[in-house]
Amino acid sequence: MSSIAMTTETTVSHAVEIETTRPFFSVRDMHAYYGESYIVQGVSLDIRKGEILALLGRNGAGKTSTLRTIARTDNPQMRQGEIWLDGLPVHQMKSFEAARSGIQLVPEDRRIIQGLTVEENITLAKVAPGNGWSLEQIYESFPRLAERRTQEGVTLSGGEQQMLAIARALARDLKLLLLDEPYEGLAPVIVQEIERILHSIKPLGITTIIVEQNAVAALKLADRAVILDTGEVVFAGTAKEVLDNTELRHEYLAI
């Protein structure tokens, strides 16, 4: 009798534990190709809600391709694997459906729309359905964008364009932010400003994957890290483990 009660209790507490530790975002054995070129070779990763994951690796390791596969672009094309966001099967979605579900990719070239002001770039993003940030919320977090709201977006500095690209993602329904080399070409003071913004959205439950050549900066910001090499995961652990592991840093990150 008491043993049955104990078993039940154990089962219940175990179930609760699984529920609270279930990853918010999960990639399972993902394979993707550019034509016949096999590039993403069985990537798996897990992220909890509100975490920042640094996705690192040498040039050509497959970082951009991994982000593009997660965002469900046609190139590269995913041929095997599963992608789950908060219980939703992203692997069954088209790219526009993935975006509607809250996956927003900010590519390396930022894609600011020519001929539109800062405010028009943000407003256009708000056309998508869902509960994105209001203009007021955005301007409060990005005072530089507020000052330049009537300026054409493409005439902003590199750092300001990066902020606009992130602001645009926030204007949409944002659950998973995919950032491809956001710090590239930016002055340290601007990098710090972007870091501050990425930190401030964590408590809102926004989950981020950051790809960066500036591995040290990404690792200082991130909770966890995944290192890719030739399209495969060669390390997954905490960001601190990578910072503390000289061998790993030398071998895959050249730092």
Ligand X SMILES: Nc1ncnc2c1ncn2[C@@H]1O[C@H](COP(=O)(O)OP(=O)(O)O)[C@@H](O)[C@H]1O
Q: Which of 31-39, 113-121, 144-152, 185-193 is the region at the interface with ligand X (rule: CB under 6 A)?
A: 31-39
Identify which of residues 64 and 214 has a Cβ nearer to ligand X in the complex. Answer: 64
Question: Least distance to Mg ion from the beta carbon of 63, Å?
Answer: 5
Site string for ligand X, 37-56 (x = CB under 6 A): x-x-----------------
Q: How many Å apart are CA 53 and CA 108, to the nearest integer?
A: 17
Question: Least distance to ligand X from the beta carbon of 68, Å?
Answer: 7
Task: Show Cβ contacts of residue 54 under 8 Å, excluding neighbours closer than 6 positions.
Answer: 210, 211, 212, 215, 218, 219, 221, 222, 224, 225, 226, 239, 242
Residues 59-88 that bind ligand X (CB under 6 A): 59-65, 75
Question: Least distance to ligand X from the beta carbon of 230, Å?
Answer: 8
Q: Is 109 in the site for ligand X (CB under 6 A)?
A: no
Task: Show Cβ contacts of residue 163 under 8 Å, excluding neighbours closer than 6 positions.
Answer: 142, 144, 145, 193, 194, 197
Contact (CB, 8 A) for 158 and 186: yes
Q: How far is CA 112 from CA 46, 71, 122, in A?
A: 30, 18, 10
Residues 57-86 that bind Mg ion (CB under 5 A): 63-64
User: Residues for the chain: how many in total?
Assistant: 255
Q: Which residues in this chain contact ligand X in the complex, by CB under 6 A?
A: 34, 37, 39, 57, 59-65, 75
Q: Which residues in this chain contact Mg ion in the complex, by CB under 5 A?
A: 63-64
